[in-house]
Every structure is written in structure tokens, then in C-alpha cells.
Amino acid sequence: MTTEPPEPTTAKPVNLPPPARDGGLSVEKALAERRSVREYSNEPLSSAQVSQLLWAAYGITQPLPGIPELGGGFRAAPSAGALYPLELYLVAGAVTGLEPGIYRYRPAPHDLMLVLTGDRRRWLCQAALGQTMVRDAPASLVYSAVFSRNTAKYGERGRRRYVCMDLGHSAENVYLQCGSLGLGTCGIAAFHDDAVRLVTRLPENEEPLYIMPVGRLLKRD
């Protein structure tokens, strides 16, 4: 990084469109067609698509406000002990109706909180060992984990096993939701942790786990 990103901004939550609960592609077809996609068209994502992806990853499927330990209710992905150690960030470069920037997803209100303004895809690409799909995709999802949420109950097993299981559940949901929306993604774990932390301004208690660039499939003549 040659330039230090500006300090985090404070802003009002960005409300997301309500997620759809039904689609035109069956689970079986989405499974059969699931692939890792590394090239994307330059067409922007819509805010509705971003909303759907975030909901599929970690959104609330049944609100239960009376049970605060569930973090808002049942979610689209299972979690060991219902501890939900993952945090999800959107690195937006070309999303219709959304200013470029880095946003933190909040599942219970289904909204985004602005962390940093500006298009940070190039810096995230550098942090991801120069993998150009991170730079070229309209947006990327970045997963982090608060390991203490699991280790407080499960000890080191929570860190070594359960958090990884949670990530796998959520990331596969993103793959399948991408297939349903005509989008593509590719899970990335090869990156410099400290650099990703700097780009996304993760809090000290969060560790980066995964990057999932997302975009429309590139059609070749």
C-alpha cells in the first residue's frame, strides 16, 4: 500500500431491499451448475443482488427479537452453538445505488454500515496477492471472525474447527445464490492477513478469513 486509507467515517445505516424468499432456479440445478468463476463482466451489481447475497450468506430467516442470544433470529447459515462468530463486509466498487466503499453487514436490521468511502478494490487486490478477479469484480464479500465468541464456550476446538465450519456453510450459500442470480464467485483464502485487515479496517478482535469477489458471468463470443 502506498497510501494510507482515510479514517473510518460515520454515517447512517444504508437500508437494503428486502430479500426474495423464492427464485426461478432449483437448489438441485444450482448445485449442478456451481463453479468457481474468476472472470466477470464490467456490468455493475444491483443493490437487490447485493441484498440477496448478504442475506443468503448470514441474513435472518426468522426474526426472534425476544431471544437476544441468537443475534436477531434464525439465520440462512447454521452456526455451532448459535454463536455466529462471523462478520461480513462488502467491498463495493460498482453497485447501482450504492456509493463505492467498504460496508459492514448487519443481519438483524438487514442493512449496511459505512466503514470507509471510496473504491478500495485495487488495494484489496494487492492484499490478495494481486489476484485480478478481486480488482475486476464489481464487489467482494470479505469474511472475518471473532474467535472469542466460540472459544468462550468451546475452547480451542471452537477456533480450529467450528468457525471454519460456519464459514463453509455461509460461503456455499453465496455460491448457490450466485448461481440463482446469474452471477459468479470464487472463494479466496490466499492473502496477506495484515493487509486485508488494513484495507477493511477490521477491529482488533476480528481476523480475516475469506474473500469472495462477485460479478456477472463474462460472456465470450
- Judge whether 184 lies within some domain: yes
- Judge whether 12 lies within some domain: no
pLDDT of res. 2 = 37
- Judge whether 9 lies within some domain: no
pLDDT of res. 68 = 74
CATH of the domain at 209: 3.40.109.10
Amino acid identity, residue 109? P
- Judge whether 72 lies within some domain: yes
Structural domain boundaries, residue 122: 25-215
pLDDT, mean of each 10-residue run, the chain (221 residues)? 47 93 90 94 96 98 82 91 96 97 97 98 98 98 97 94 97 97 97 98 97 89 47
Q: Give dist(CA 11, CA 76) in Å, integer.
A: 27
pTM over 0.85: yes
- Judge whether 145 lies within some domain: yes
Query: In angstroms, how far is the first alpha carbon of the chain from the final one?
Result: 37
- Judge whether 44 lies within some domain: yes
pLDDT of res. 1 = 40
What's the total number of domains in the chain? Answer: 1
- Judge whether 182 lies within some domain: yes
- Judge whether 199 lies within some domain: yes
pLDDT of res. 72 = 83
